[in-house]
Chains A and B, each alone.
Chain A
């Protein structure tokens, strides 16, 4: 288990509950196969202006997750996030020094 940071950018025009559902789905992905104790920490940055348009949108809803993930599962998790249509962008990185 290593510390990871997962950031996603969700379409801005999504309804609150639809967005909450996406966040929940990502959270479930990150929680899968681990105890309640290291459930991911969720930071919602909220709606932000994008530096450049993505799919004709000028804004996006940013959510950051901090989670402990088994490195072997990262590929699966990323593929699952990629299939979520309302997620405009995602980034999965290891936390702490790149050694």
Chain B
């Protein structure tokens, strides 16, 4: 897979073997205190799918584990209703 997410490779070791300071990861859905991610907000969900229509991994989205699961369900529901594509190029 193409790696255009170099900026998201956090916590790598530098030459001295020490760690880079890791920027805090903030989950956008936790900030908004979203309980369950809504499949109807497909415009928001677009941000979390790649240009080919695949769900972006957590390391790219910065979403917490709980919301990433909820996000995946929401994307799949939106796809079923043809609000989001299964594939696109």
Contacts and interface: CB of A to CB of B under 8 A. Distances in A.
B35 A97 contact: yes
Contact of B79 (A7, A51, A96, A97): A51
A50 interface: yes
A64 interface: yes
B82 A9 contact: yes
A98 B36 contact: yes
A93 interface: yes
A98 to B, nearest CB: 6
Chain A interface residue bracket vs B = 10 to 19
With most chain A CB atoms within 10 A of its CB, the pick from B36, B77, B83, B87 is B83
A89 B77 CA distance: 11
A6 B45 CA distance: 20
B77 A93 contact: yes
B81 A91 contact: yes
Interface string A42-56: 000000101110100
In order of increasing CB-CB distance, the 10 nearest A-B pairs are A50-B82, A51-B85, A51-B82, A97-B35, A97-B36, A51-B84, A89-B81, A52-B85, A91-B81, A52-B82
Interface of B: 35-36, 39-40, 70, 73, 77, 79-88
Interface of A: 7, 9, 48, 50-52, 54, 60, 62, 64, 89, 91, 93, 96-98
